[in-house]
Amino acid sequence: MPQGTLAERIRAGAAGIPAFYTPTGAYTAVEYGQIPRRYNPGGEANGIAIGGISKARMERNGRAYLLEEAIEGDVAFVRAWKVDEAGNCVFRYVSNNFNTPMGKNAKVTIVEVCECSL
């Protein structure tokens, strides 16, 4: 799945949105469920253990959209630059990408704090 779709699935789970539509993957093997989720032991030559799942599709203004379900996490391990006494985290650089939505998404969030001095 594309990184933007993954980020949005995580954010939607944090916001309590069960699913959303995206144009990414329309008219591809993803839409029709042709990508297997799991192969038998030994790889592709031994057959498919769990087949792909086709996605619900909607068309609007001549453009196709696929339904993506939100991801809800149980535990998240995140790294923050600073944290205050109330538990508010400050993220810097690359850690802004997924740490903020995953911290909000998970039922339990474990934070590693960088002990940087300014």
The stretch 85-99 carries a mean pLDDT of: 83
Tokens 């594309």, residue located: 2
Please answer whether residues 99 and 73 qualify as being in contact, where contact means their C-beta atoms are separated by less than 8 angstroms: no
Return the DSSP state at 37.
Answer: S
Given a cut of 70, is residue 118 above it in pLDDT?
no
> How confident is residue 116, by pLDDT bands cut at 50, 70 and 90?
low
- What is the predicted pLDDT for the residue at 82? 87
Q: State the pLDDT at residue 64.
A: 95
Task: Give me the amino acid identity at 40.
Answer: N
Query: What is the enclosing helix (H) or strand (E) of 68?
Result: strand 63-69
* Domain spans, the chain: 19-69, 75-113
Average of pLDDT values for 84-101? Answer: 84
Model confidence pLDDT, tens digit, residues 52-85: 889 999 999 999 999 999 999 999 999 888 888 8
d(CA 61, CA 52): 28
Entry pTM: 0.78
pLDDT bracket for residue 17 (50, 70, 90): very high
